[in-house]
């Protein structure tokens, strides 16, 4: 559709296995929007995923025998209240974070 702007300008950022507090976006900021996390778990015992809103930690997935192997999509739908969104991953998974992040 020519001439129509797209209000949904989602970006994505990959987070490798064993990353600690990787900032989403160039600098990240209060007001950044985290839409979805796509988790690719390879090893259940080490597939933990935690997000941080500034310094507030939110556990998304705890590693263990019951964690599914393969791809899982988790809707977050949250706006950062205290700083850049950050993602920490265990050794057994990678993440694609989708949202609107400050460059």
DSSP 32: -
- The answer to whether residues 35 and 60 touch, using CB atoms and an 8 Å cutoff, is no
pLDDT attached to residue 9: 86
Note the pLDDT of residue 7. Answer: 62
CA angle 96, 55, 9 (to 5 degrees): 35
DSSP 47: -
Which structure tokens are listed for 85? 């969104």
**Largest Cα–Cα distance of the chain, in whole Å?**
51
pLDDT tens column, 7-57? 668 999 999 999 999 999 999 999 999 999 999 999 999 999 999 998 899
Higher pLDDT, 15 or 3: 15
State the pLDDT at residue 68. 85
Assess contact for 36 and 101: CB atoms under 8 A: no
What pLDDT does 91 receive? 97
Residue 60 near residue 67 (C-beta atoms within 8 A): no
The token pair at 87 is 């993602």
Q: What is the pLDDT of residues 54-100, one digit of tens each?
A: 889 999 999 998 888 999 999 999 999 999 999 999 999 999 999 99
């Amino acid at each position: 559709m020519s001439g129509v702007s797209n209000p949904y300008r989602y970006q994505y950022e990959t987070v490798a296995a064993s990353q600690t507090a990787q900032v989403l976006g160039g600098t990240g900021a209060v007001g950044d929007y985290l839409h979805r996390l796509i988790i690719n778990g390879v090893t259940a015992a080490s597939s933990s995923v935690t997000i941080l809103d500034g310094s507030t930690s939110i556990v998304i997935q705890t590693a263990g025998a019951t964690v599914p192997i393969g791809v899982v999509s988790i809707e977050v739908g949250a706006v950062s209240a205290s700083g850049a969104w950050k993602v920490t991953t265990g050794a057994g998974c990678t993440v694609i974070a989708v949202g609107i992040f400050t460059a």
